Amino acid sequence: MERKVRVRFAPSPTGPLHPGGIRTALYNYLLAKQTGGDFILRVEDTDQNRFVPGAEEFIIKALKWCGIEPNEGIGFGDGPHAPYRQSERKHMYREYADKLIASGDAYYAFDTEEDIDKMRKDLEAQGVPSPSYNAVTRQYMKNSLTLPQEEVERRLAAGEAYVIRFKMPRNEDVKFFDEIRDWVTFNTSQLNDAVLLKSDGMPTYHLANVADDYMMEITHVIRGEEWLSSAPLHVLLYRALGFESVMPKFAHLPLLLKPDGNGKLSKRDGDRLGFPFYAINWENRETGETSEGYREKGFFPEAFVNFLVLLGWNPGDNKEIMSMEEMIQLFSLKKVHKAGARYDFDKAKWFNQQYLKAKSDDTLAEILKPLLDEKGYPFDQAFASQFAHLMKDRAVYTKDLLEQGYYFYEDVKTFDVETLKKRWNADAKSRVNELLPILEASEDFTAAALEQKTKDFLTEKGLKIGEVMPLLRIGLAGILQGPPVFDMMALLGKDRSIARLKQNFANFDTLIA
């Protein structure tokens, strides 16, 4: 019988969630939604030394902003497998470690840090590259495999510090199927005897991860490529614990790569190239520093998610703009790429631009309202909607609408003086001052009517468009770029348009002097 799909996103609260983590959560979410399964948020906080205050709250807020909401887990409501924070499940892991001890698949190790450091230095001196605690070196260390049983019991009874290590088989191939990479093989000679339970009773990532996935009935483990080297140990743990029949399917996602050059994407790339690295603002409580997020930059969450989903996957065609519902319908692990995906911030901006353009004028007007209030501009729904309609084709972020089109709400602040020096002279002044009364006298002040009157004027005078229109545009907006001139005038209205043109035309001589 096919099991219900249950997937989990299991970040560690060691810092803010990076784009690769958001993408991992997204792929888990898509599979769960597509199959009618469950998506769980589990916080893996076994390494208390690396805990960063605020990180867990950040993870929850970032997922909520992105619309990637688990139906079980920290911040999203308890399910049948609560608690979902590993530090609160500490008491559950001992039985799994004891089971491995009893079956001979794990052992007690009493070595101090000094003992292990000496072992490594001795082996390095003998020319052994990257020495570790493994199937060979464990024979010469202080553990329950080398010490007499009586001494092991004495040390345990005396409360001597120890860890429990996995007994890695010697020179054995571990083969498992990866949904993205097909069959993967590791030889155990490449692996060390990983610590499973620390001296304080806290499990390491490996034991807690496997035990929790078993207890929470996880069917698919979808995680980043950096965890691929941990998979053979996890496979061996499933076998040793007798859980192989319910071992989840594995899928290791490709790395996110730097926008330029080689290597894995990092926050330094964002700092260096000037783009946000996190989904939302991250405030470092220790340093007081704030890192700008995509939300605060002006991204729509659906645009950010659409950008991320295609970093490593595509539906098999050239389709790029997809709603969350379409992603859910089209997603397949089989179409996830093995190769790393280059992180292109310009492409992210393109996605945001497409989503902005697709929004209705009325919706953009509502989004603009707090920005208008902040600047002290009056809000009129009809005016703001028409304004958004004129400006949105040129904007990447909502704030661009006001930054680029501020002149709809206040007088022009700056002028393209270089263009004026080339175009403004006595003849130009005469032409526009002759046109202005014609436009002012027009009872119909729509864009179409103004355009027709201007064309008639140009025809009558034998003038070209370029002899008048650039000056009208600079007179209205101060620059040559922007919406169509007559659309601008129609929205500004007759009184504001004519008054502004008269005033600015009168000042052009002074500007170019």
DSSP annotation of 4 reads P
Question: What is the C-alpha separation between 30 and 39, in angstroms, rounded?
Answer: 9
> How many Å apart are CA 102 and CA 106, to the nearest integer?
8
pLDDT at 513: 83
- Could you list the pLDDT tens digit for every one of the 513 residues in the chain? 689 999 999 999 999 999 999 999 999 999 999 999 999 999 999 888 888 999 999 999 999 999 999 999 999 999 999 999 999 999 999 999 999 999 999 999 999 999 999 999 999 999 999 999 999 999 999 999 999 999 999 999 999 999 999 999 999 999 999 999 999 999 999 999 999 999 888 999 999 999 999 999 999 999 999 999 999 999 999 999 999 999 999 999 999 999 997 899 999 999 999 999 999 999 988 888 999 999 999 999 999 999 999 999 999 888 999 999 999 999 999 999 999 999 999 999 999 999 999 999 999 999 999 999 999 999 999 999 999 999 999 999 999 999 999 999 999 999 999 999 999 999 999 999 999 999 999 999 999 999 999 999 999 999 999 999 999 999 999 999 999 999 999 999 999 999 999 999 999 999 998
**26, containing H or E segment:** helix 19-35
Q: Which of 215, 195, 198 is nearest to 206 (CA)?
A: 195
Query: What's the predicted TM-score (pTM) here?
Result: 0.93
Task: Please say whether the beta carbons of 195 and 164 come within 8 A.
Answer: yes
Question: Of 99, 264, 267, 429, which one is the catalytic site residue?
Answer: 267
SS3 109: strand
CA atoms within 13 A on the CB side of 269: 19
C-alpha of 419 from chain center: 42
Between CA 362 and CA 372, with CA 368 as vertex, the angle to 5 degrees is 130
Residue ranges in 162-317 assigned as alpha helix (H): 205-215, 231-241, 267-273, 294-297, 301-309
Secondary structure class of 437 (helix, strand, coil):
helix
Residue 34, pLDDT score: 97
Distance between alpha carbon 52 and the CA centroid of its chain, in Å?
19
The distance in angstroms from the start CA to the end CA of the chain is: 85
Reply yes or no on whether 413 is catalytic: no
pLDDT at 437: 97
* Cβ neighbours of residue 207 closer than 8 Å, sequence gap 6 or more: 93, 96, 97, 196, 197, 237
Q: How far apart are CA 76 and CA 28, in angstroms?
A: 16
Cβ contacts of 58 within 8 Å, gap of 6 or more:
16, 17, 278, 280, 282
CA angle 414, 417, 419 (to 5 degrees): 125
pLDDT at 139: 97
The full set of domains in the chain, from first to last, is 90-207 (3.90.800.10), 269-330+341-357 (1.10.1160.10), 361-512 (1.10.10.350)
Q: Are strands 341-342 and 256-257 parallel, antiparallel or unpaired?
A: parallel
Q: Which two tokens stand for residue 216?
A: 């929470």
Q: What is the pLDDT of residue 1?
A: 67
